[in-house]
Amino acid sequence: MKLQIPHTVKQIASIIQCQFIGSENHEVTGINEIHMVVTGDLVFVDHPKYYEKALKSAATTILIDQKVECPEGKALIISATPFDDFNKLTRHFNPFILGQFNIGNDCKIDPSAQIHASAVIGERVKIGKDVIVYPGAFIGNDSVLDDNVVVGTNSVIGHYAFYYKKKPTGYDRMHTCGSVHLERNVEIGALCTIDAGVTGVTRIGEGTKIDNQVHIGHDTVVGKNCLMAANVGLAGCVRIENNVTLWGQVGCASDVTIGEGATVLAQSGISKSLEGGKTYFGSPCAEVKEKFREMAAIRRLPELLEKMK
């Protein structure tokens, strides 16, 4: 999430009433979680296991729960509860707004777009030429739908991210201030859900076609001209390169990359990154020929056990 106006670290620290280390004029231009940070961003870290990753990331301001050596050119904000204070900051700069009307404020909708009267459009949404939004669909805050996008009946574009911190009192959800971008000629079937990025953008590439009842998690990036059949489920922070095909009921864990031109057959489970240009099957999935040989061997086990008696 980019700030509309850059703030100094002193101004940011004052919002959450925390001490800071570094020049008081050090500039903060954005707030992002670790997967999305760029120079100028603020990121939070609340566990020593991840200190080094955060301190060496592109982020130039680190909201942290311990005083540590401040890297050159960066600033630290010391907080007893970085997760909570990160939420306070994102809510401060991008508060949740539940619209009261079918079309929210500050939207830019091309006159050629066809939007059913029962659809709901959030705040600051941009909709391009010849877009079709079918009955009952919801387009969340800050979403972008480029030209010729189709959103099917009762689909949700930009639901809040499934991102929680476990506490003694229960699970505390991170405030979602990201968005979804559907590029040109994307088609979304009925009853699909595409979660917004936590602080960044969940992106579906140009020409990709998505069947009914597909779920795509926060901050996932799908390439161009991909196909996803019904009941595909992708966790957050997945990277799918161009021309990938995922057949029905494929499931994919987070932080996985699927290479260009890969095909994953139905009911497969993806737990690690896959090379492009190959066909995969099974759970956990492997190259299809290897998996079929494995299955053939398993079918022979009763026979082999009988011979061992």
Asked if 70 and 54 count as a contact pair (C-beta separation under 8 A), the reply is no
Residue 151 has a pLDDT of 98
Residue 148 has a pLDDT of 98
**C-alpha to C-alpha distance for 76 and 78, rounded to whole angstroms:** 6
Residue 251 has a pLDDT of 98
Residue 304 has a pLDDT of 77
Q: What is the DSSP string of the chain?
A: -EEEEEEEHHHHHHHHT-EEES-TT-EEEEE--GGG--TTEEEEE-SGGGHHHHHTSS-SEEEESS--PPPTT-EEEE-S-HHHHHHHHHHHHS-----SSSB-TT-EE-TT-EE-TT-EE-TT-EE-TT-EE-TT-EE-TT-EE-TT-EE-TT-EEEEPP--EEEETTEEEEPPP--EEEE-TT-EE-TT-EEEPPSSSEEEE-TT-EE-SS-EE-TT-EE-TT-EE-TT-EE-TT-EE-TT-EE-TT-EE-SS-EE-TT-EE-TT-EE-S-B-TT-EEEETTEEEHHHHHHHHHHHHTHHHHHHHH-
Weakly modelled stretches of the chain, pLDDT under 70: none
Residue 309 has a pLDDT of 72
Report domain extents, the chain: 2-93, 108-292
What is the torsional sign of CA 133, 135, 138, 142? positive
CATH among 3.40.140.10, 2.60.40.3080, 3.90.10.10, 2.160.10.10 for 108-292: 2.160.10.10
Residue 107 has a pLDDT of 96
Cis preceding linkage at 168, omega within 30: no
**What is the pTM assigned to this prediction?**
0.92
By annotation, the residues acting in catalysis are 218
Residue 35 has a pLDDT of 87
Segment 119-141, tens digit of pLDDT? 999 999 999 999 999 999 999 99
**C-alpha to C-alpha distance for 309 and 241, rounded to whole angstroms:** 51
Q: In CATH, what class is 2-93? A: alpha beta
**The pair of three-digit structure tokens given for residue 97, joined into one six-digit string:** 């707004």
Asked if 136 and 156 count as a contact pair (C-beta separation under 8 A), the reply is no
Residue 133 has a pLDDT of 98
Segment 283-300, tens digit of pLDDT? 999 999 999 888 888 888
The angle at the Cα of 249, spanning 257 to 256, to the nearest 5 degrees, equals 10
Topology alike, domains 2-93 and 108-292: no
